[in-house]
Each structure stands twice: as C-alpha cells, then as structure tokens.
Amino acid sequence: MNNKNRLLIFTALAVYGFLYLPLLIVVVYSFNDSKLNAEWVGFSLKWYDKLFHNNEILSAAGNSLIIAGISALVATVLGTLAGMAMYQYRLKVLPGLVLAPIAMPDILMGVSLLLFFIMLNMSLGLISIILAHITFCIGFVALSVQARMSGIDRSLTEAARDLGANPWQCFRMITLPLLAPGILAGALMAFTLSIDDFVVTFFVAGVGSSTLPLQIYSMVKIAVTPEVNAISTLLMLLTLILITLVARLSPGALRS
C-alpha cells in the first residue's frame, strides 16, 4: 500500500463519515426515551412498539416499497435504452426530453401531471404515482448509462458481429455486461428518488394511497418524533434486506 492509496482511502472514509453522521443521529434517537429528539434521555423500544401498532404507516411503507420497486424497474429499462440511444446516435429531441424532467421544478411537474391525469379522467392512486415517478427517474438512469458508455470499446461489439453474433446476442453478451455498473448506479438513484419523493407524490396521490414520505410529512408538524426515526431506520433495513435478497436470488443481476 502506497501513500497515494492511503490518502485516497482516508479521504473516502471521511466522506463515508460525512454520509453516516446524520444517520447515526436518526438511528440512535429512534431508541431514545424522549419525544423531543433533542438530547439522549434513556434507551427505549417504545417507538418501535408504537410503530408496529400503526397500520396507517405500515401500509404507507408497503406502498412506498412497491412504488419505488416498480418505478425503478421501468425507469431503468427506459433510461438504459435512452442512454444507449443518446450515446450511439445524434438525436435531436430525446436529449432535451431526458434532461428537462430533471430540470423541471417538482411542483410544476406535480401540478402538470395532476392536471393531465384529471384531463384523462384517470383515477388517482398507486398507478398515477408510479407513472409520475418513472417520468422523473428516466433522466437519472439515462445520464448514468450514457456516462458509462462513453469510451466503451466499439471494436468489441464489432468483433462479435464479425463472428456472426446477431444484434440481440451482441447486446446480451457484450453491451449489457459492460454497461452493468452504469445501469446499477442508475437503478439505485431511481429507487432512491422514488422512495423519497414528497412534492410530486403529494399532487398525484389519490385518497387512501398514501406513501411513507406523505405520512411522515403529516407527522412532523411538531418536529420529528422518534417514531419517524424508527420507521426510517426500519425502512432502511428492509430495503437493504430486499435488495440483498434480489441480488442473491438472481446472481449476476447486480454484479458489475
């Protein structure tokens, strides 16, 4: 191990520290025996107990996971196609259409989609939320995939073609594995954006289709109570478990 590596690792660890510092507060205070989230009073599991008796919040968490899972999946497929297309061809319309939803303020997107859905006479619920989330996630995946593609050796696919592989085989055997880290990064971003979105969801959610952020915002008028910390901690764990399971069940799906 040389100096450069040590400096690099030290900086990276410091950045991890920066990422986890507030998280430590979230997790620790979820076990705090005080409503105020301000100083440590004593250890307690009461917020978790309270949480498990709160059906509203549990079903909202279930909704959030379903919405984030489906939105991330669809956005990843569409975003990957868009990213590949943007890199391979000189397109006029698509790059702008991919960028603009990232640039559009959430509120405008929420209001415009709400007006659009109502114009179509579509009932508001999980479907309208998923459609909206996919819209703002595509760009993140596309840019990530595009950044991965640039510099990938075209000669590889050309060589495969020369050896008689059809375009699908080419894509499946060569392009896709090469793109995997970009797709994985994009999928993670899409999942994160979806599971955390409040503004757009507020507008396009219908009666009775609450998500966790909506539920949490309704609870934080009196600052964040430890119950919110508890559900955040659990959601993080649950997501981690789900993703690990998916990775285990389909080896290679998440492999770089």
Partner 1 sequence: MISKSWQQRLLTLPPLGYLLVLFAIPTLIMLFASFRYTGEYGGLAPWYAYKDGGLTLELTLENWQRLFETDIYLRLFVKSIGYAVFTTLLCILLGYPLALMIARSPRKHRDLLLLLVILPFWSNFLVRIYAWMILLSPNGAVTQLINSIRDVFGLAPVSLMYSASAVIICLVYVHLPFMVLPLYANLEKHSSALLDAAQDLGANRWRRFWNITWPLSLPGVYAGSILVFIPVLGMFAIPDLLGGTDGVMIANVIKQQFVESRDWPFGSVLSMVLTAAAVLVVLLGAKFGRQGGR
Partner 2 sequence: MKKLLASVLLMTLAPLAMAVEQLHLFIWNDYIAKQTVEDFEKSCNCKLVQGYFTSTEEMMAKLLAGASGYDVVVPTQNAVQALAKQGFLSALDKGKLANFKNSDPAFLKRSYDPANTFSVPYAFTTSLIGYNEQQLKKLGISPDNWSTIFDPKVLEKLRGKITVLDDADELFAAALKYLGYSVNDRDEKHLRQAQQVIIKAKPYWAAFNSSSYIKELAVGNIWVAHGYSSDMVQAKNDAKAAGRNFSIGYALPKQGAVLALDNMVIPKDSKNKALAHQFINFMLDGKNAAALTNEMGAGNPNRAAAKFINAEIKQQKAIFPDTATLTRLETIEATDARQRRLLSKLWTEIKIK
Binding span for partner 1 by CB under 8 A among 40-48, 49-57, 240-248: 240-248
Residue for token pair 């050896």: 163
- Distance in angstroms between the alpha carbons of the first and the last residue of the chain: 25
Question: Taking a C-beta distance cutoff of 8 angstroms, is the pair 143, 218 a contact?
Answer: no
CB 231 within 8 A of CB 212: yes
CA-based radius of gyration for the chain:
22
Contact call for residue 73 and partner 1 (CB under 8 A): no
Q: Does 231 bind partner 2 (CB under 8 A)?
A: no
How far is 197 from 188, CA to CA, in rounded Å?
Answer: 14
In whole angstroms, the minimum distance from the beta carbon of 245 to partner 2 comes to: 5
- The secondary structure of residue 205, as a DSSP letter, is -
Nearer Cβ to partner 1 (80/209): 80
* Binding residue for partner 1, selected from 44, 73, 178, 206, defined by CB under 8 A: 178
Q: Which of these ranges, 43-51, 52-60, 232-240, lies near partner 1 under the rule CB under 8 A?
A: 232-240
Residue with smaller CB distance to partner 2, 136 or 203 = 203
The residue whose two tokens read 């880290």 is 181
Q: Taking contact as CB under 8 A, which single stretch among the options 8-16, 36-44, 84-92, 170-178 is the one that binds partner 2?
A: 36-44
**Residue 202 engages partner 2 in binding (rule: CB under 8 A):** yes
